[in-house]
Amino acid sequence: MPTEKILPTGAVFPANNPTANLLCFGVTPTSIISPVWDENQFGTAQVFIGNPQTDERLCLPSTVKLPRIK
């Protein structure tokens, strides 16, 4: 479900598309090369990555396009 983003300054950014869908994929354990760094709007920091649980998923924004029936 899309959410709104609220910055520490109080600025609010509503969800761009509240009816957006997610397409989810199962993930599997993989080799991890440390350290891993992440940079986003909050700054840069080291991220600790663990092995995923068997029921974890990677979900990405997607659109729904229904097939045309002739």
Which pLDDT score, from 0 to 100, does residue 9 have?
A: 93
Q: Is the dihedral of CA 9, 4, 44, 53 positive or negative?
A: positive
What would the two tokens of residue 61 be?
């924004």
- pLDDT of 1 higher than 70: no
* Residue 13 β-bridge partners: 5
d(CA 19, CA 15): 9
Could you read off the pLDDT of 13-52 as tens digits, one per residue? 988 877 777 888 988 877 777 778 999 888 999 988 777 7
Domain boundaries of the chain, sorted by first residue: 5-62
What is the model's pLDDT at position 19?
73
Whether 12 has a pLDDT exceeding 90, the answer reads yes
pLDDT of residue 68 exceeding 80, the answer is yes
d(CA 5, CA 16) in angstroms, rounded, equals 10
The pTM of this model reads 0.43
Paired tokens of 51: 């092995």
